Amino acid sequence: SQELEQSPQSLIVQEGKNLTINCTSSKTLYGLYWYKQKYGEGLIFLMMLQKGGEEKSHEKITAKLDEKKQQSSLHITASQPSHAGIYLCGALTHGSSNTGKLIFGQGTTLQVKP
């Protein structure tokens, strides 16, 4: 099984709707990163969470970290077509926190219908 599981794998929402993407780790988290990727392009950094209970926002995107559950969620409010893309969570876990090596989930593909 995957070390980092994202759900759902894909999502289609109507413009203006809210949505949540989840990322669950099977190992203790030392840091959780969220990225966005357009098809065929590199990863764009969105947010980094390090402490349990931490919550960060950027424009209409909010990410939270539940350290005890080893989970993070990414919430988009009032989605727009510009939010479409692949959302990836990456984690620093035991053994990788010293090197900074991230383990990634498989990604969540978001489509926003106008």
Partner 1 sequence: DTGVSQDPRHKITKRGQNVTFRCDPISEHNRLYWYRQTLGQGPEFLTYFQNEAQLEKSRLLSDRFSAERPKGSFSTLEIQRTEQGDSAMYLCASPPGLPNHGELFFGEGSRLTVL
Those residues with Cβ within 8 angstroms of residue 106's Cβ, 6 or more apart along the chain or in another chain = 2, 5, 6, 9
If one asks whether residue 58 binds partner 1 (CB under 8 A), the answer comes out as no
By C-beta, is 10 or 18 nearer to partner 1?
10
**Residues 75-94, mask of contacts with partner 1 (x by CB under 8 A):** -------------x-x-x--
**Can you tell me which residue has the tokens 């929402």?**
13
If one asks whether residue 22 binds partner 1 (CB under 8 A), the answer comes out as no
Query: Which residue stretch of 11-19, 35-43, 57-65, 75-83 sits at the interface with partner 1 (rule: CB under 8 A)?
Result: 35-43
Query: Which residue stretch of 14-22, 36-44, 66-74, 75-83 sits at the interface with partner 1 (rule: CB under 8 A)?
Result: 36-44
Applying CB under 8 A, the residues found at the interface with partner 1 are: 4, 6, 30-31, 33, 35, 40-45, 48, 50, 88, 90, 92, 97-107
